[in-house]
Amino acid sequence: MKLVIHPLFFAVMLLSAVFGGLPTALICMLTALLHECGHIFCAAGMGFTCTKISLMPYGAAAFMDIEGIRPADEIRLALAGPLVNVCVLVALAGLWWFFPQTYGYTDTVMYANLAMLAVNLLPAYPLDGGRVFGCIMRRFFGEKAAMYAVKIVAAVVSATMFALFFFSGYNFALLIFSAFMLLSVFEKPAGCERINFSTAGRLKRGIEVKYILCDASLTFKDAYKKLSARHYAVFQLYDGGGIAEEITQDELYSLSLESSVYDRVFGDYFSRNDLPNSEGEILPSNTALTHSAPSDMPSATAPDSDE
């Protein structure tokens, strides 16, 4: 697990120091890290691992490979972060009860955890409350309806925060948060596009082939998450008795032109003789080589997804 710090994070800390708010900024940063630790330890208990933690101007984010997680476990994982903030608030309440004089030293910690808890429980993606809301919506209304619902809520939250920016005396934290939520509204699922590795000299150095074993439930949306500019992917269909079928990354690109991201990659167990190549031509069975590395290869439009 590695720690990645956004360049603007240093700018925020510098501005906080100039205007006398550095202690508060540091407390907010530590609160965000503690919140993410709740997610990380919960994920570890479920068998998932955290690949990196990113410190950003508006907080922190833990990136985890939770591919295939069940909705019930995803809800538990999403609530693990806010639960940490609740525990801190309860601990502070107990501290103030027995030692009231400590209030003056810990009130900022209380406000930071209270704000972190309130914000993350908003039902807007990618906040924790939005993930819970999305899981519930998928359970009753399906994937597409859930996606539109969380985006609509995120747009409403973004507009609300933007309005509060003016009524709060120009609190720029609200403006940054509004922009963050607005970006999540226009975020698109990872797609598939062609990239010519040969012009960059990649084929001369060699490209590693990555085999992904899957079942017939694999969708294009899930397959896109496995794509990377560092590998050439080959998806293999396992039917319980061995490898029943496989498609290369080029063939995935060809199929994606005529399919929705929610369609299954292997469909109704298609025949390779009827599979079009990247130019739309039909590939004869003796030329559909799985281990070849054509010059035009598809890759993900975004890096591997972790949360």
At residue 68, the pLDDT reads 62
Residue 60: strand pairing partners: 55
> Where would I find the H helices in the chain?
7-18, 22-46, 71-98, 103-120, 128-141, 143-167, 172-186, 202-205, 220-224, 249-256
CA distance 164 to 175: 9
Q: In the chain, which stretches have pLDDT less than 50?
A: 189-192, 195-196, 198-201, 271-307
Question: What is the pLDDT of the chain when averaged over all its residues?
Answer: 78
Which of 191, 168, 188 lies closest to 178, judged by CA? 168
At residue 204, the pLDDT reads 58
Report pLDDT digits (tens) over 129-148: 989 998 998 888 887 788 88
Q: Are 157 and 179 in contact (CB under 8 A)?
A: no
At residue 94, the pLDDT reads 95
At residue 305, the pLDDT reads 41
Q: Is the pTM of this model over 0.75?
A: no
Residue 95: strand pairing partners: none
